[in-house]
Copies of this chain bind each other. A is one copy, B any other.
Amino acid sequence: MLLIDKLSQKPIYEQIIDGIERNILLGIYPLGSLLPSVRELSVSLGINPNTIQKSYAELTRRGVISPSPGSGCYVSYDAKALLSAEARKKLARLSELVSELRIAGIEENEILGAVASVYQKDETSRPEKEVKK
């Protein structure tokens, strides 16, 4: 459910954050649901509890999850809204990257093709449709 690459350059605590946020966006961790406990993740991922704790602390700071001392951490009801807003900021990084590619002589069509191919992939990595209430 949560894949960690200990040899990656990206810090482990950040990988955990990204993984949890991803799972929330995909609906694997529904809004309001209970997350695995620090100890549980610690043993299932083979990672120091302090590292997990650091990830949870950061997610709490961002308002994505909210700890309920004694019972665990719950996904905030506005987690998705927060994450989507955050994602829009990533568009800036995308522009940077595209700019680099342009300077390197990559054609616009090649980029557009790469983008399109991502959006035509299977549904496993697409957020579930919003349900009418």
Chain A residues engaging chain B, CB cutoff 8 angstroms? 6-7, 11, 22, 25-26, 61, 66, 68-69, 74, 80, 83-84, 86-88, 90-91, 93-95, 97-106, 108, 110-112, 114-119, 121, 125-127
User: Could you list 16 further interchain pairs (A-B, Cβ under 8 angstroms) beyond the known A22-B100, A91-B106?
Assistant: A7-B66, A22-B103, A25-B105, A87-B100, A87-B106, A90-B101, A93-B97, A94-B97, A95-B114, A97-B97, A98-B114, A98-B119, A102-B118, A103-B127, A112-B112, A115-B115
Q: Bound state CA distance, A61 and B126, in angstroms?
A: 31
Contacts A7-B66, A68-B7, A118-B95 hold; do A87 and B110 have CB atoms under 8 A apart?
Answer: no
Q: Bound state CA distance, A80 and B103, in angstroms?
A: 11
Cβ contacts A to B, 19 pairs, < 8 Å: A6-B68, A7-B66, A84-B104, A84-B105, A84-B106, A87-B101, A90-B97, A90-B104, A91-B114, A94-B94, A94-B101, A94-B111, A94-B115, A95-B118, A98-B115, A102-B126, A104-B127, A108-B116, A112-B112
Nearest to A104 among chain B residues (CB) is B87
Tell me whether B108 and A115 are in contact (CB under 8 A): yes
Tell me whether A25 and B104 are in contact (CB under 8 A): yes
User: How far does the Cβ of A104 sit from chain B's closest Cβ, in whole Å?
Assistant: 3
